A and B are shown apart, each in its own frame.
Chain A
Amino acid sequence: MFQNLIDFLLNDFFITGDPLILGAQVSIGLSMVAVVFALTYFKKWRWLWTEWLTTVDHKRIGIMYIIASILMLFRGGVDALLMRVQLAVPQVEFLHADHYNAIFTTHGVIMILFMAMPLMFGLFNIVVPLQIGARDVAYPFLNSLSFWMFFFGAMLFNVSFVIGGSPDAGWLAYPPLSELSGSPGLGQDFYIWGIQISGIGSLATGINFVVTILKMRAPGMKLMKMPMFVWSVLSSCITIMFAFPILTVTLFLLFIDRYFGAHFFTLDGGGNPMMYINLIWMWGHPEVYIVILPAFGIFSEIVSAFSKKKLFGYKSMVFALMSISFFSFFTWAHHFFTMGSGANVNAFFAVTTMLIAIPTGVKVFNWLFTMFRGKLTFPTPMLWTIAFIPCFVVGGMTGVMLSVAPADFQFHNSYFLIAHFHQVLIGGVVFGYFAGLYYWWPKMFGFKLHEGLGKWAFWLWNIGFYVCFMPQYALGLMGMTRRFNEYNFDMGWQPLNVVSTVGAFIMGLAFLFQVWQIAHSIKFYKKEPTGDSWDGRTLEWSIPSPAPLYNFARVPVVDSEDAWWEEKQRLANGGKPKPLAPLEPIHMPKNSAIPFLISVSFFVMGFGFVWDWKWMIIPGAIGVAICMLARSFSYDTDYYIPVDEIERTEAALGGTK
């Protein structure tokens, strides 16, 4: 019995026999021990539980999202570097083919779903309620649930690489390869459940922020007076609401195929693999707009703040954001022009894809005209914004090249495509979220990040980016296709691949600079003197940094776009401060352990399904049901902060008197 267990653990449960993975297992084990030891030694378990794991405060949830996404950026980045090493020296078998397949799969999934999405949700959480003058999101409990569903989904996905086996059928897991016939191992099941669980969280976040933005704005903030970031979040969340259910169904169908032996996407039994590819891209294409739209919002905020000017073309910007989220649902087939849908279908999707370039172009001009004759300053958030514009324009243009259906037959699945989407996703999404992170960092933590080190990181990222990806356009045109770990020397691809690998390592170095920057800024902590670190324009800068639990002691009344800026101008021009309303008790949601427990139950159930262990599936499912009923039966879910406590807090913060 005991011997059987040991055999099972060594042969099936843990992945053994690969030194790289062994190293990872040892380091994961050691860091878990270290965390447990530190929490116990410093007696922080209770603090962790009450202040973080059960919190429903949007600001803390936002911080947890950001921490998790930076860890995922690290793992996705290591995957990328491993692939680049292999491609620089294909003759040396650094990663054998199976391992390489697993790594490009996890790199893609982690970077999009577990890095970009949570980083985006982190910024939503921190910024949106503050910008619209709200005290929290519409559903704080659901918000916490979303975070924990994401977190445990990500854990379930990540655990596959040391336990059971990584998925290795590509980041979108096309069948028939991802079916049992092509992937009999457990990796694909980890893929399905990890993404499914976190996807439910993302869907809930989408609903939560749509309602927050539509219903929770401060009095006077009409839709057309909202900060542009809030507009971008609205457009992104509407897109989430319409796209994510498709992902849920698609993965569910793949699961039914694998688990119950159904024939949706199999080659036999009348199944139709193309159906999966259509469905997954009906989610997948909107998904890339979901992550890029908020970046556009961030750039709009930053450009306007550091040009000391109102955003140029507010209405056209709103129109551009909303039309992109609409058109994003009509372009999916451009991902498989080569699959033979016929000339008319391809022509339709080519045209819709090109149409998207129009609103995007409008935005670029709006940003440029905002800067035109502005009083420009260049702290790190602005640097990232300036670097984004040319990078994204080039990335967008190569996208238009790819959208030309006949030409796409040449580009399809080549490194030209790889270079294109990395250019829009790094140059657009990553640069955008970094810009946002630097911009709102003082609002989150009450201190700024060190500018000098930030500039080093900025330049290294940018140089590394171009060195890494420009050669890949050329490699694509030279015929190099994606997802191969080996190529022959006589193809002539090696020199450019070596250059590309050097670029990747420069970006890795840039990431280390950012880690150093954060550590340095914490060590030499310098409290921001005011809550208005950048002489900002929107409401989040009108309150202390970090914001108190209830955000606004008094709900602000808004009468213009850039409300905080206008108010500062009015006061500077000798306007009288408006009379203060008396403080009132503030209605706040109570912390809850249920979101954490539901998500743990989902994790248990998902893990059980992966291994097909009924003894684990059933308790997991029961746990989910009990938690939901417990929530339904709990009526004591909120409380009031009394006026004297608000007064004390405000006095301590030196904020509003």
Chain B
Amino acid sequence: MAQAVTGHDKHGHGGHGHHDEHHEHEHESLKTFGFWMFLITDIILFGTLFATFIVLRFSTDGGPTAAEMFKMPGVIAETFILLTSSFTSGIAVLQMHRGNKKGLIGWLAVTAVLGLAFIYLEVSEFIELVHEGVTIGTSAYWSAFFTLVGTHGLHVSVGIVWMTALIIQLARRGITPVTQRKVNIISLYWHFLDVVWIFVLTIVYLMGVM
């Protein structure tokens, strides 16, 4: 075994160029797999926050309740914006598979701008709540609300910075196996945040105003 014929490199023993390509593919798929593993841990993270929110959903300590404070139009707008951004990130990936660098960058930019719009609405919602006297320290319910929704918002914000960095890399380097993997990963991340938002919308907002 130890010293046996490897049979590892099916591409034969060609020059470096050959090796590079082979290893790069192996390398990139390894990273994508790792990102799926990371998403599992992120699901547990959000799961814990949701569980906490659900446990504390009636703990308003006699203070304002969700039904009194929530303004649904803004939330519905946020939802549509984020769902649309998920769709545009999907188009970006399709453009990438066509080898259309311009289209890829353009649609990623649209996605990032929609993400920014989402964050803008969310931050305005938070500011409005604070102006009306509801803060993270008002009661356990609001602590859980701001933390859960805020953690999702933080994820989206990180995604926007990341996407911007990726747009710059794409502009400089074009579509290579490495940038391709990076685009795939961020679109995975973006769809994931969209799914989490569906749960936020349902459990926090819709069940809150029910």
Residues of A within 8 A of B (CB): 138-139, 203, 206-208, 210-211, 214-215, 219-220, 241-242, 244-246, 248-250, 252-253, 256-257, 260-264, 266, 268-272, 275, 279, 539, 542-543, 552, 554-559, 563-564, 566-567, 577-582, 584-585, 587, 625, 629, 632-633, 635, 640, 656
Contacts and interface: CB of A to CB of B under 8 A. Distances in A.
A215 B48 contact: no
21 contacts: A138-B34, A206-B41, A210-B37, A242-B40, A245-B41, A246-B44, A249-B49, A252-B147, A256-B147, A262-B143, A262-B147, A264-B140, A269-B61, A270-B140, A272-B56, A272-B140, A555-B8, A581-B5, A632-B182, A635-B178, A640-B16
A640 B142 CA distance: 55
A633 B178 CA distance: 11
| Highest count of chain A CB atoms <10 Å: which of B52, B55, B162, B178 | B52
B133 interface: no
Contacts of A245: 41-42, 44-45, 48
Given A262-B136, A567-B1, A581-B6, A272 B19 contact: no
Given A269-B140, A542-B2, A581-B6, 5 more contacts: A207-B37, A249-B45, A261-B136, A262-B136, A578-B3
Contacts of A261: 136-137
Contacts of B2: 539, 542-543, 552, 554, 556, 563-564, 567, 656
Binding site of B, secondary structure by majority: helix, strand, loop or mixed? Answer: helix
A558 B60 CA distance: 61
A557 B16 contact: no
B38 interface: yes
Nearest to B31: A139
A207 B42 CA distance: 12
Interface of B: 1-9, 13, 16, 19, 23, 30-31, 33-34, 37-38, 40-42, 44-45, 48-49, 52, 55-56, 59-61, 136-141, 143-144, 146-147, 161-162, 165-166, 168-169, 173, 178, 182
B40 A263 contact: no
Nearest to A214: B33
Nearest to A142: B34
A279 B16 CA distance: 52
A581 B4 contact: yes
A78 B166 CA distance: 50
B55 to A, nearest CB: 6
Contacts of A253: 52, 147
A609 to B, nearest CB: 16
B62 to A, nearest CB: 8
Which among B2, B19, B45, B138 has the highest number of chain A CB atoms within 10 Å?
B2
A556 B7 CA distance: 9
Given A270-B56, A557-B1, A215 B16 contact: no
User: Which one of A257, A275, A625 has the greatest number of beta carbons of chain B within 10 Å?
Assistant: A275
- For A261, A262, A581, which residue has the most chain B Cβ atoms within 10 angstroms? A262
A98 to B, nearest CB: 29
B42 to A, nearest CB: 7
A316 B69 CA distance: 56
B50 to A, nearest CB: 10
Contacts of A242: 40-41, 44
Given A264-B143, A552-B2, A207 B16 contact: no
Most buried by A among B40, B41, B59, B146: B41
Given A275-B56, A554-B3, A557-B4, A256 B13 contact: no
A509 B41 CA distance: 42
Contacts of A249: 45, 48-49, 52
Contact of A207 (B1, B34, B162, B178): B34
A423 to B, nearest CB: 31
Contacts of B165: 629, 632-633
B137 A211 contact: no
B19 A585 contact: yes
A212 to B, nearest CB: 9
Contacts of B37: 207, 210-211, 241
Nearest to B178: A635
B136 A585 contact: no
A219 B1 contact: no
